[in-house]
Copies of this chain bind each other. A is one copy, B any other.
Amino acid sequence: MIRRTSQDIRRLNRFEVLRRVYAGPGAMSRQDVAAATGLSFATVANLTAELLEAGVLVEAGHEESGGGRPRARLAVNAERGALIGVDIAETSVHAELFDLALTVRHSVERPLPPGDVRPSDVVDALAGAVGELLAASGTDRARVLGAGVSVPGMVEREGGVSSFSPYWSWHEVPLRALLDERLGLPLWLDNPLRASTVAEMWCGAGREVDDLVVLTLRAGVGAGIAIGGQLYRGFTNSAGEWGHTCLALDGRPCTCGNRGCVEAYVSLRGIAETWRELAPGDARATGPDDAVTVAALARAADAGDPAAAAAIDRIGRYLGAPVATLVNLVNPQVVVVGNQVVDLLGERLLPVAYEAVGRHALALPHRAATLCRSTVPHNPVTLGAATFALEGFLDDREVFGPVSRMRKAAKGGAGAGG
């Protein structure tokens, strides 16, 4: 039922080549790319020619040669266009403008009203943020190649519909339709898990690797899965919902209505809750903002507070078991953990968690998997959202046609077009 054509090969190879150039430490030659991808040199030359023609890559000088023709250095043409990545979170909308090299150029954050946010609130905040972004950076809207938007919960990607939100009582909200005319930009919707994963694939530990799991730990938690170098979406684009894995039968109540979910233990809220359990009288553990509480926990632990240390120890064990589940089930090459929880607690939490993973996972998949912290700078969700836009642009048949078209263009000149 899955249609496989040779053009898919082309498309994947195009992605692969470009990803290597992004990955490269700034000086990637065609030779390097060929070696790294395993493609023949001719193919790499083909693909880079196409990417050069499209303006996505540029040749930036030459490497030094020890005799013989020097290799041309390939680089991403950051100025080819702009990308926008938007992270819709529980309390705010965060929008960032990237250049084509995926470096942040401008950043805007707009708060959302507290409580049950309506779709129109989000649309207003988002459109406002994007407008501000463009104005502040002096970017012409026409130069923006696309905008990626991350919406929490379940997203029907093709239709651009948010079919379920964990925070607000949204059902089947047609976000794309609502945003389309307000933005006037090619739009790509998905959720934070998949955005973070794609960010890792282009800019993080996923660059070198085919089978990858990316853990997103913030207000909600979940996993993104990449298999064979491609994001795995599942049958209805909801694969990777790891947050509601049962960690403890009849355990803590979770926002999903169930008990004992992973999310109830290792989300920001779950972490705060564990601290409260272990430090009943501690006022620092009782604030309304979980992120603040977790930051306080980190400080308390650093200051040698024994209850805080005990809490982190326990949280690490809570985290280790379900990570081991992932390792056993997916058998990935790399597991990346990232986002707020890790930013706040990483130093202390991860060693404990890693050790717990070792106890729970089977030897073979455990040995095979490298666990690491995300090295993606800044907010992986906005970056990933922008990457969706980048991928969308790379799929544009107007820009990247079949090879024969190129050959014809090269031969026939500007002749009988149409």
Contacts and interface: CB of A to CB of B under 8 A. Distances in A.
How many copies, total? 2
Interface residues of A, number: 66
A249 B314 CA distance: 12
A307 to B, nearest CB: 20
A314 to B, nearest CB: 10
Contacts of A228: 2
Contacts of A333: 235
Contacts of A232: 227
B5 A9 contact: yes
Contact of A362 (B6, B229, B237, B241): B241
Contacts of A394: none
A378 B227 CA distance: 33
A177 interface: no
A233 B368 CA distance: 13
A13 B36 CA distance: 29
Contacts of A245: 325, 328-329
Given A163-B364, A329-B240, A364-B163, A3 B38 contact: yes
A321 B246 contact: yes
Contact of A164 (B238, B246, B363): B363
A190 interface: no
Interface string A237-263: 111111011111101000010100000
A223 interface: yes
A241 B164 contact: no
Contacts of A39: 3
A237 B333 CA distance: 11
Interface of A: 1-6, 9, 12-13, 36-39, 154, 163-164, 210-211, 223, 225, 227-229, 232-242, 244-249, 251, 256, 258, 317-318, 321-322, 324-326, 328-333, 359-365, 367-369
30 contacts: A1-B37, A2-B228, A3-B39, A4-B9, A154-B364, A164-B363, A164-B364, A211-B234, A225-B329, A227-B227, A227-B232, A234-B332, A234-B368, A235-B333, A236-B367, A238-B331, A238-B364, A238-B368, A239-B331, A240-B329, A244-B324, A244-B360, A244-B361, A245-B325, A245-B328, A246-B360, A247-B249, A248-B248, A249-B317, A325-B325
| 10 closest cross-chain pairs (CB), A and B | A234-B331, A246-B321, A239-B331, A241-B328, A236-B368, A245-B325, A235-B333, A4-B9, A154-B364, A238-B365
